[in-house]
Structure 1
Amino acid sequence: MFEQREGEVAMADDPAQMRPDAGIIFIGSIASPWKRREDCPKNMNAARETGRGATLLIDPPYRPGLAGLEGASHLVVLSWLQHAPRNLIIQKPRHATEAKGVFALRTPARPNPVGLHIAGIVSIDIEAGRIELDAIDVLDGTPVIDLKPYFPSVDSFPDAVRPAKATAE
């Protein structure tokens, strides 16, 4: 399980125990090579470096929604990171010198553990509901919330910057 590190702050109420504001329906799952958290790459760049792909398995009622996706090179995958804690609001990543608010981090531990992944499409079989991806950075069996085509003309911001990194004093 997750251990709270020095400098981290948990919320008084765990969002996992709160009454939901909306319902989420899983449309499928991800078959990935990662069975244990310790083995899972920390981001999509690290996942691609392994050379191991993954498969999206879309449930039958949602397969017609894949129509028109053929020919796309990349896909935005929204996943539900069901193993992540939901109560940490300030976190201190292992590699960081200072703690930060959850919304300044790309951590899976957040009030709503929604994963965002931009993956390359290797192949699509709409009838079978299978989309082969170049890589993924989630555990095997992770639920899929939604899929969207990646459009470089509107999704890419070459001049975007990251938040300033904290330095050790």
Structure 2
Amino acid sequence: MERRNEILHAIQAKPGITFRELARELGIGIGDLQYHLRRLEKEGRIFSRKVGKRRYLFPRGFEEEAQRLLIAISTETRRRILLLLLEGQRNQKDVAEKLNLSQPTVSYHMGELVKLGIVRARKDGKSVIYSLSYDPEVIARVIRDYRPGLWEKLADNLIDLLAGMGEEE
């Protein structure tokens, strides 16, 4: 029971944590963690969402809007894409060039962001234009409330992005 409470507190402290990340942070074996998570889910104290190959864990009653955003910002590439889209809409080629990513990588991550409802995609001739479907203030609030450690990373990414834009002109 003590181990289960430790797991629950970790999920409450970091909603949207992935299964693997939780196992690493708590130093718990995969089988042991699976057992306790099943029990916590049966008790209705937590729930999980599987997106792609990752399983994200949330405390009971966690807000839907924040769930999707926490899943979206769980990877560095998606955070960088969202940061770029905060400046305005972009096409896939532009995102790939600005972030020094391959177009297939951008396509994959954009597809995941569209599925989560964080980004909108609209056809414009042969290209697809992407834009945020969330208010930037909501994104900022979720990061501030649930991932305050990301502020510094995002600030560094923004500085890198702005420095890169200055070099092109």
- How high is the TM-score relative to the length of structure 1? 0.23
Instruction: State the structure with bigger RCO (CA 8 A, min sep 6), 1 or 2.
Output: 1
Query: Which structure's residues are more often strand, by fraction?
Result: 1
Query: Which structure's residues are more often helix, by fraction?
Result: 2
- How high is the TM-score relative to the length of structure 2? 0.23
